[in-house]
Amino acid sequence: MAQAQVAETGNGGSEPEPSGSRIRRRLAELRKDPGIWRRGAVLAALAVLVALVMIFHAELPNSVGNTGSLIETFLPWLGLAVPLLVAAALWRRSATALLAVTLTAVVWVNLFGGLVTDKSGPGGNLTVATHNVDADNPDPRGTAASVAASGADLLALTELKPSAVPVYAAALADTYKFHAVEGTVGVWSKYPLTSSAAVDIKIGWDRAMRTTAATPHGPVAVYVAHLPSVRVKLDAGFTAKQRDRSAEALGQALAGEPLPRAVLLGDLNGTMNDRSLSPVTSQMRSTQGAAGDGFGFSWPAQFPMARIDQIMVRGIRPEASWTLPRTGSDHLPLAARLAI
């Protein structure tokens, strides 16, 4: 009776199976596995659920704890479910789950894939920056020097503590000849500012303003806003109603703006995906979405998870958008290069 020959190596062991043969053998085993399409139904359902949330996030109800807005604030992070579900599907050896996860991945790429690539261009003749400096910032002078180093022609600061305004003004005086402050927000500019006034966003004190910057390329309406903060509470959910009312008031002010070119800078305490900010976002174009490199998350500074600070434009073309180095604030500064 003939015996199978086993190829011997120099040390007496068997030759390792070529990787290509091993893969083909494993695939053949999987094809013969009768449970490959039956296993992983729960994983497949989870993958489909994540995909549906991403597709229909605008339909999620806000009636209970502003759940829809909360999910929209962190919507891109649902993509983390994809590698976790892939690993689980491979562990379960489930073709059904893998197919469902592929659908989830396609949805995520369709929604957010464009934010991953660098869309910045070489043009632009106006650079702007915005920063929530944090009222408890321990180093306002250093923060001012850091954001001024961005080369911005127009710089918006929010959450200005009244006692710190002179510190920022003195630190920025060499770079910016003009500035205007209303309440806790302000604009520093290399170009003359006129018609500066507070904008009422229905919160009882001044956290928004408008001014006109006389740039070499024509007048630009500059809005700076710091919408009310939001919180996540176990008993109340996503507490954003005051912010939402302020967004409506800001949207009305923007709708009445007579100048064709406008820039909105500031901390909106919400992302572009949040439907509650639509009174503003429906009128303005995000520089990050149009010309950014990456997601541009700005908060919290230690581990940015959401872009709640915004640079938005109307009648102006964004060329580039980026985050600036961390300062003494709990937010990252943002900058953008615009073409008028």
Whether 2 is covered by a domain: the verdict is: no
> Of 90, 116, 142, which residue constitutes the final position of a domain?
116
Residues 165 and 138 in one domain: yes
Domain that holds residue 94: 34-116
Find out whether 294 and 320 touch, Cβ atoms under 8 Å.
no
Is pLDDT at 204 greater than 60 in this prediction? yes
Weakest mean pLDDT among 63-67, 93-97, 231-235: 231-235
What is the predicted pLDDT for the residue at 215?
98
Is pLDDT at 24 greater than 50 in this prediction? yes
Mean pLDDT of the chain: 91
Residues 277 and 163 in one domain: yes
CA distance 131 to 157: 5
Whether 334 is covered by a domain: the verdict is: yes
Whether 7 is covered by a domain: the verdict is: no
What is the predicted pLDDT for the residue at 2?
45
Whether 308 is covered by a domain: the verdict is: yes
Mean pLDDT across the stretch 19-44?
71
Contacts of 126 (CB under 8 A, 6+ apart): 153, 154, 215, 217, 220, 316, 337, 338, 339, 340
H-run or E-run covering 53: helix 41-55
Report the range out of 62-66, 107-111, 231-235 with the highest average pLDDT. 107-111
Residues 252 and 142 in one domain: yes
> Of 55, 81, 116, which residue constitutes the final position of a domain?
116
Residues 202 and 301 in one domain: yes
What is the predicted pLDDT for the residue at 39?
86
Q: Count of residues for the chain?
A: 340
Residues 136 and 171 in one domain: yes
CATH number of the domain at 318, please. 3.60.10.10
Is pLDDT at 144 greater than 70 in this prediction? yes
Mean pLDDT across the stretch 71-92?
95
Whether 199 is covered by a domain: the verdict is: yes
Is pLDDT at 182 greater than 90 in this prediction? yes
Helices (H), 56-139: 67-73, 81-92, 95-116
Whether 28 is covered by a domain: the verdict is: no
pLDDT digits (tens, 9 = 90+) for 281-307: 999 999 999 999 999 999 999 999 999
Whether 6 is covered by a domain: the verdict is: no
Residues 88 and 146 in one domain: no
Tell which wins on pLDDT, 326 or 114: 326
Residues 92 and 167 in one domain: no
Q: How confident is the model at residue 7 (pLDDT cuts 50, 70, 90)?
A: very low
> Of 116, 139, 160, which residue constitutes the final position of a domain?
116
Residues 110 and 207 in one domain: no
Residues 212 and 282 in one domain: yes
Is pLDDT at 8 greater than 60 in this prediction? no
What is the predicted pLDDT for the residue at 1?
45
Residues 156 and 187 in one domain: yes
Residues 214 and 307 in one domain: yes
Whether 154 is covered by a domain: the verdict is: yes
Question: Number of folded domains in the chain?
Answer: 2
Q: How confident is the model at residue 30 (pLDDT cuts 50, 70, 90)?
A: low
pLDDT digits (tens, 9 = 90+) for 149-169: 999 999 999 999 999 999 999
Find out whether 124 and 152 touch, Cβ atoms under 8 Å.
no
Residues 203 and 178 in one domain: yes
Q: How confident is the model at residue 14 (pLDDT cuts 50, 70, 90)?
A: low
What is the predicted pLDDT for the residue at 6?
43
pTM of the model: 0.87
